[in-house]
Structure 1
Amino acid sequence: MLAGIAEGLALADRARLQQKDVLEVLELTSMSSELVMQKGNAIIKSEFPPQQELKHMQKDLKLALNMAEGLEHPLPITAASNEVYKHAKRLGYGSHDSSAVYVRARF
């Protein structure tokens, strides 16, 4: 979910929309939650104090993918998200909050 929010805010930035406006619209939907708003605001401010380090989120995605493979159950969205998190980790954001995945989503 967080990778999707990061991508949406990156798209808004590319389209020259105000990210805060996009987040305000998101707040009016059923997707709104304290976590979504907190991470969205962290992305907008480019402040990523670690609550859940990105490297741990990526590890959890990898564990889910390993379990799914053992059960022969495809998780294509999780696999794609894992690649984005791995790239953010390679860019040096592993010890930052998982919302730092936005840095990778901007590419």
Structure 2
Amino acid sequence: MQTKIDYEQIILRNLRQLSPTQQQEVLNFTEFLRQKFALTTTASVLSLQQLAKLSIAERHQYLKAFIPATVDDFLTDPELTEFSMLDNEDWEIEYD
């Protein structure tokens, strides 16, 4: 069985052989995994009041992990994808 140090060495060796663009993709993927793991291990979800107390940077970092699920919701949830209720609205604006 390989140890953590062995994995780090293999990853670093592979990373050094990649182009800067590919290295950026690896970085993005590892950030995604880190955030995904952090969400699954976090015991509680922040309340709106707790979220409001965070700095904007902290808030963005926290909310960033929820983006994939939100996108999926907007693509698959009928209540979010149906815009038939907008058909009843008058969208023409009259200017005087």
Structure 2-normalised TM-score?
A: 0.27
Give the number of the structure with larger relative contact order, counting CA–CA contacts within 8 Å between residues 6 or more apart: 1
Larger Rg, first or second structure (1 or 2)? 2
Structure 1-normalised TM-score?
A: 0.25
